[in-house]
Amino acid sequence: MSTYQRLLLDPKSEDALSKYEMPKDLGFGKTILPIMAIAEYKNGSWGAAKLQPYGPLNLDPAARVLHYGQAIFEGMKAYNNEGKIALFRPEENHKRFNRSAERMAMPDIPFETFMNAIDSLCSYSEKFIPAGEGESLYLRPFMIASEAGLGLAAANEYLYMVVASPSGGYFAADKVNVLIERSACRAAPGGTGYAKAAGNYGGSIQAGNKAIKLGFQQTMWLDAVEKKYVEELSGMNIFAVVNNKIYTPKLTDSILEGITRDSVIKLARHKGYELEECTLDINWLVEKIKSEECSEIFAVGTAAVVTPLSSLGEADGTIYKIKEDFGPVAKLIKDNLVGIQRQSIEDPFSWVYEIGTNFS
């Protein structure tokens, strides 16, 4: 892996950091650090990233991102592990960022540009990375089409930015009830579901609001064609334990390939569980919940870590209560995943990346 020089902290950014006071009640993604990283793409190449005080952008109202949604993002966490600052598999976020960029006709970004922005931002913000249980610095790398133009075409100019939020846990409750969405769909075959494209998330909010109105916390998406196969939640992948075997939907182009999902698959197999990636029929799953052969369902993602589901439900009020709402498989997976991320147990897969490792 190539090395890079830590980005400089200009006096204004230094001043902004020195005046920053972290709120006591963090929430998730609510408070943003007073510095950010930014790089510009112009004339076919990326300029160097720089750090600057956090603040409004000077964006042309005809910028293509505002009209045609050329916008992609990533979600990562930096952990404060007793003085060491650790990321989890950041090279996978970089790869997925470039897959998203390709799908949205946006430019690739080199690993050094992507990573130095994150590395440098974290290294200057060390004292604002909360260390409590479930706490981290949530990192949001993103890219937008900044060039002005109202004709439908890919932009020639882009901005890559990283903002960061000292955060606590994602859900207010540690167990969630999930509405099976039987009418709307999140992503269709041939569409953008496998990309972390902003529009996928905008399109999921209406169903999310419906779920909340009906007393659920999340939406479970089914495939767009048959409305029969479980895909994922709006920001998490999903696992079910049936007769002691673990099942998860196999990847298609309408499912976001979660880095936590991949890690859970590897961890579960490493721990000796049988695990199958398959088409997961919702009606089969509901029957298995009712017969209690399905003992656990849990959702996984960077933000939500491992979150057990208490129930699945329908819009007509039918509830399928899941046997265990924090069962032994979810517990074991969570303990091991969090243990590796917090560097309190061995990391047999070399998943942890310590901040500053690539500084020359």
* Residue ranges in contact with ligand PMP by CB under 6 A: 75, 232, 234-237, 256, 258-261, 301-302
Rank residues 303 and 322 by Cβ distance to ligand PMP and give the closer one: 303
CB of 299: closest distance to ligand PMP in angstroms? 9
CB of 357: closest distance to ligand PMP in angstroms? 21
E strand or H helix at 124: helix 111-124
Q: Which residues pair with 40 in a beta bridge?
A: 159
Residue (of 158, 200, 198) closest to 60 by Cα position:
158
- Helices 111-124, 90-103: axis angle to 10 degrees equals 130
Q: Which residues pair with 145 in a beta bridge?
A: 158
CB of 251: closest distance to ligand PMP in angstroms? 11
CB of 305: closest distance to ligand PMP in angstroms? 9
CB of 285: closest distance to ligand PMP in angstroms? 18
Residue (of 182, 186, 276, 180) closest to 235 by Cα position:
186
Q: How many CB atoms lie within 10 A of CB 220?
A: 26
Give the Å distances, CA to CA, from 291 to 99, 242, 295, 321, 323. 40, 10, 9, 11, 9
Residue (of 274, 281, 276) closest to 231 by Cα position:
281
Rank residues 287 and 335 by Cβ distance to ligand PMP and give the closer one: 335
Rank residues 26 and 256 by Cβ distance to ligand PMP and give the closer one: 256
Q: How many CB atoms lie within 10 A of CB 190?
A: 9
Residue (of 134, 74, 110, 81) closest to 1 by Cα position:
110
CB of 145: closest distance to ligand PMP in angstroms? 20
Rank residues 256 and 329 by Cβ distance to ligand PMP and give the closer one: 256
Rank residues 107 and 301 by Cβ distance to ligand PMP and give the closer one: 301
Residue (of 101, 88, 80) closest to 336 by Cα position:
88
Dihedrals phi, psi of 58, to nearest 5 degrees:
-100, 95
CB of 193: closest distance to ligand PMP in angstroms? 8
| C-alpha to C-alpha distance for 213 and 230, rounded to whole angstroms | 22
Rank residues 17 and 71 by Cβ distance to ligand PMP and give the closer one: 71
Rank residues 256 and 282 by Cβ distance to ligand PMP and give the closer one: 256
CB of 84: closest distance to ligand PMP in angstroms? 22
